[in-house]
Amino acid sequence: MNARLMVHLIVSLAVALTLVFAGAAIGGPALGLLGLVVWYVLESLVKALLPTAYQPGVAGAESTSAVYRGWAAKLVAGTALARARTPQGDAARLAAGVRLCMVAYGVRDGSQSLGYLLLERTPDGGTAVAWHGRGKNAGTRPITPAVPAFRPGREQQNAAQARLGYTSSVQFGQDTYWLQPHNTELLRLALAPQGAAATGGKDGSAGAATPAAT
């Protein structure tokens, strides 16, 4: 957790406790509960307005804009601050040298685990992709070659993951990764210069990518 996010959490907790106990002291439990509701609304709006640098990432990377979800993110979507929260905006951040991470459900070696895909600009202008596992599978492992195959026709069978929005399938070699559609489009944009000629799929994401001719 980065220092800025830690400061935000401490301040948020202090505000929550103040609203709850002040409300309870002034008007009893009902007003204390109302203070908690007010805190929830304010906290959601503040988090939706925070820059991506405040969002939790791994291995020194920043999260992609896909972390902005829910009613508060939709409410501020039209503001100048939120207009760059698109796959194209994230691709521009990557091109500027920002290391990015995205949450993914990876099916690797026959087993599925929750982890992260890391994207990083290489000195030659390409994009390096790595898998960062969690728990007993912790550690960063490069994915080579970083040539994805997008599978728009594949349906998410895990209902819980589908509800969370991980409905887009991308394959690197024998391994499959379930991503949010935002991050799938970012991968397509980031890896296209490396030889990914993609065709559209029925869900609006890219189709199968093929290596460029040599």
The model's pTM: 0.74
Identity at 153, one-letter amino acid code: G
Write out the H or E segment, with its range, that includes residue 182.
Answer: helix 181-191
> Could you tell me if 207 and 150 are in contact, meaning their C-beta atoms sit under 8 angstroms apart?
yes
Strands (E), the chain: 62-63, 100-108, 111-121, 127-133, 139-143, 149-151, 168-172, 175-179
Instruction: Supply the pLDDT for residue 195.
Output: 45
Residue range of the domain that includes 37:
3-75
Per-residue confidence in pLDDT tens, the chain, 214 aa? 557 667 767 888 888 888 888 888 888 888 889 988 988 888 888 888 888 777 778 888 999 999 888 888 888 877 777 778 899 999 999 999 999 999 999 888 777 888 999 999 999 888 999 999 887 767 889 998 878 888 877 788 788 888 888 999 999 988 999 999 999 999 999 998 554 444 444 444 444 444 333 3
Q: How many domains does the chain have?
A: 2
Residue 36 β-bridge partners = none
Instruction: Supply the pLDDT for residue 116.
Output: 93
In terms of domains, do 64 and 140 share one?
A: no
Write out the H or E segment, with its range, that includes residue 157.
Answer: none
DSSP annotation of 137 reads G
CA angle (129, 49, 22) in 5-degree steps: 130
In terms of domains, do 66 and 128 share one?
A: no
Q: Is residue 19 part of a domain?
A: yes
Q: Is residue 174 part of a domain?
A: yes
Q: Is residue 207 part of a domain?
A: no
- Residue 193 CA, distance from chain mean position: 22
Domain termination site, one of 75, 101, 136: 75
Antiparallel, parallel or unpaired: β 139-143 and 111-121: unpaired
Instruction: Supply the pLDDT for residue 189.
Output: 94
Write out the H or E segment, with its range, that includes residue 14.
Answer: helix 3-27
How are the residues of the chain apportioned to helix, strand and coil, as percentages rounded to the nearest 5? Answer: 40, 25, 35
In terms of domains, do 116 and 142 share one?
A: yes
